[in-house]
């Protein structure tokens, strides 16, 4: 039986962007290096492609010494989906977007077990905004309680002020 026939019996091949997670082993077998963009002592960037779908990714690899684990060396890998123009720019020598500062859209990242999951940096920022709003709201409620305010107008004003503390709603 051919490899393609086996694969369709097991599970259909999906683009990485349609998958919730993937094993590092499967990605290593699936992705092809197109060009090494830069390499240092602890980190490297390279342009890789998923030939099954023609999708390109910026692969960022970093080595990290985990001092809490007795100096054990760990390796982490991240895959940022690239648009057509970004692929051309990388192939022509433009510097890759620096991780993490310039990675502002969802990307795949691995953990200590080697599996990759999607991470959305925008979600991380919005979580921080809600945490800050929660702390400010907590302080406002404690002050409201300490001052012993309980009138209907005061409660309405508290609710209006509390609403302004929250980040804007995303629709």
* pLDDT tens sequence across 114-149: 899 999 988 755 566 667 777 777 777 777 788 887
Average confidence score pLDDT of the chain: 84
Query: In the numeric block, which tokens belong to residue 166?
Result: 């929250």
b/e burial code for range 15-54 (CB count within 10 A of at least 16 → b)? ebeeeeebeeeebeebbeebeebeeeeeebbbbbbbeeee
Cβ–Cβ < 8 Å for 63, 72: no
pLDDT for 171 beyond 60: no
Which pLDDT score is estimated for 170? 54
Which pLDDT score is estimated for 154? 82
Share of the chain above pLDDT 70, in %: 85
Return d(Cα 28, Cα 107) in angstroms, integer.
Answer: 16
Cβ–Cβ < 8 Å for 55, 49: yes
Least confident piece of the model among 2-11, 15-24, 94-103: 2-11
């Amino acid at each position: 039986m051919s490899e393609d026939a086996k694969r369709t019996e097991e599970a259909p091949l999906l683009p990485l962007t349609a998958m919730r997670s993937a094993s590092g082993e499967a990605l290593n077998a699936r992705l092809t290096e197109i060009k090494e963009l830069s390499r240092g002592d602890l980190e490297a960037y390279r342009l890789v492609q998923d030939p099954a779908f023609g999708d390109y990714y910026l692969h960022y690899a970093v080595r990290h010494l985990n001092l809490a684990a007795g100096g054990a060396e760990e390796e982490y890998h991240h895959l940022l989906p690239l648009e057509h123009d970004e692929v051309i720019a990388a192939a022509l020598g433009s510097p890759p977007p620096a991780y993490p500062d310039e990675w502002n859209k969802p990307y795949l990242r691995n953990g200590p077990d080697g599996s990759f999951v999607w991470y959305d940096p925008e979600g991380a920022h919005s979580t921080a905004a809600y945490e800050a709003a929660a702390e400010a709201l907590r302080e406002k409620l404690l002050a409201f309680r300490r001052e012993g305010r309980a009138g209907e107008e005061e409660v309405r004003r508290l609710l209006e002020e509390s609403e302004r503390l929250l980040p804007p709603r995303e629709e």
